[in-house]
Structure 1
Amino acid sequence: MPGAVIIGAGPGIGQAVARRFAREGFAITLIARSDSTLRAGAEAVALGDVPVLALAADSTDEHALRSALDEAADRHGLPDVVVYNAAIIQADGPGDLPLRGHLDAWAVNVVGALTAAAHVAPAMAARGSGSFLVTGGMPEPKPQYVSLSLGKAGVRTLVTLLDQRYGPSGVHVASVTVAGPVAPGTDFDPDDIAEHYWRLHTQPRRHWEHEALHTGRTGPASPAGQASISSTVS
């Protein structure tokens, strides 16, 4: 049975992606910081007839995240797709955050994705297949969203670096850039956004894209809309 791991399995995109892959018969592993998030996520996916594993780990705790990925592989095998959906989304201008605040945001938005990729992508490359997908945002940097703008720029660079390293061995690395407030029944419905992840995972190698941009039917959203997604997705 194929497997999907979702890191940052909170309400919205994380759970929608889990449901989307579960519909295709994937064994699902959900990784999040809190037990309440994991319970809600497991309940959302449990409607399908696939195994669901819920594991608590903070994406900034390297040992905990690597251990969770190892447990997922032990239970469901090397995943076919890993989705990194953890982020700190907050409004802050130049000089608003102390150094610690920027480091904390960078650790979740970028370094956690690097940790996860470094742990699973080499095995995917050895197998010759797999997808590593990251949730992006902020198509244009905004001075009122400094830490988020820096983080999402970092995600784009990370995707390029990972593709350079693992793409030739068959690992599809890409981001899904969401340019608006995620909410059911809107242009930014999480179930619609989840389709990008499935499409990227199933793309033939000759047609690989490395960024899917979801702007909704009415065009890009304002930065205020971006900030309303959540404070921390994990």
Structure 2
Amino acid sequence: MAGAVVIGAGPGIGRAVAVRFAREGLPIALIARTGRTLRAAAEAVASHGVPVVTAAADSTDRDALGAALDEAVRAHGVPDVVVYNAALIQADAPGELSVRGHMEAWAVNVIGALAAAAHIAPAMAARGGGTFLVTGGMPEPKPEYVSLSLGKAGVRTLVTLLDQTYGPSGVHVASVTVAGPVAPGTAFDPDDIAEHYWRLHVQPRHRWEREALHDGGSR
């Protein structure tokens, strides 16, 4: 197995998803901004006895992100699944955030996912298969979270565009929409949410879904 790549492998969903795929025996590549985050995630994954590689990169730095993905490919081959979990989560009301602030949020929440897909999905398509998953949220926009609401709306459109581009070549593109605050021991426990990523990855092609919704009701 060529393994899984998790971009945004911090505590919460990213780490839980990495562990979930490691439980299935997949080699794991972890990408995050800081070495401290990567070390903690690698320790959680390594307990499952799978090969682990880490690479530090900011998701808004296209060159650095591309280099990190290339490192993952060198270590484990073209991945079976890539999960884009980076996000800038902040409270901001209409008119409160500067133009630069909105651009910075959009760069993390949407453009980083686009850059990752543009870099790695063509190789998946050339191979004839793979999964590219993006963490979504805000199924209903909230005026107290303007930049995040806009970003998650952008994720839905991006997933549609990527599906149209790479889906015919066998790449399953989908999002996992998380409709509440993530916290262990709650209806939005990251371990529960991680199950959606695995389920989407192993779906047969004739049953592919473009979005899985975690609304807390299944706990």
TM-score tier, shorter chain, comes to over 0.9
Structure 1 residues not aligned, in runs of 5+: 220-234
TM-score scaled by length of structure 1? 0.92
Letter matched to residue 59 of structure 1: S
CA contact (8 A) 1:2 1:25 kept: no
Q: Pairwise mapping of residues 5-154 of structure 1 onto structure 2 (< 5 A)?
A: 5-154=5-154
Question: CA–CA distance in 1 between the matches of 2:162 and 2:2?
Answer: 22
Over aligned residues, Cα RMSD in angstroms?
A: 1.0
Extract structure 1 runs of 4+ deviating beyond 4 A: none
The 2-side partners of 1:125 and 1:45 are apart by 27
Consecutive unaligned residues in structure 2, runs of 5 or more: none
How do 1:196-211 residues align onto structure 2 when only pairs under 5 Å count? 196-211=196-211
Provide the rounded CA distance (Å) in 1 between the counterparts of 2:87 and 2:140: 17
User: Contact 1:136–1:178 at 8 Å: present in 2 too?
Assistant: yes
Give the match's secondary structure for 1:26.
coil
8 Å CA contact 1:110, 1:151 repeated in 2? yes
1:163 corresponds in structure 2 to 163
Instruction: Specify the SS of the correspondent of 2:75.
Output: helix
Q: What is the CA distance between 1:2 and its match in structure 2?
A: 3.0
| 1:184 to partner: Cα distance | 1.1
- Taking structure 2 as the reference length, the TM-score comes to 0.98
Contact 1:4–1:26 (CA under 8 A) maintained in structure 2: yes
For 1:183 and 1:93, locate their aligned partners in 2 and report how far apart those are by CA, in whole Å: 24
- Cα contact 1:30–1:41 (8 A) shared by 2: yes
**Deviations 1:166-203 (CA, angstroms, capped at 9, x unpaired):** 00100000000001111111111111100000000000
* Aligned residue-pair number: 219
Does residue 179 of the first structure (1) align with residue 155 of the second (2)? Answer: no
Structure with more relative contact order (C-alpha pairs < 8 Å, separation 6 or more): 1
Secondary structure at the residue paired with 1:9? coil
- Using the aligned pairs only, state the percent identity: 78
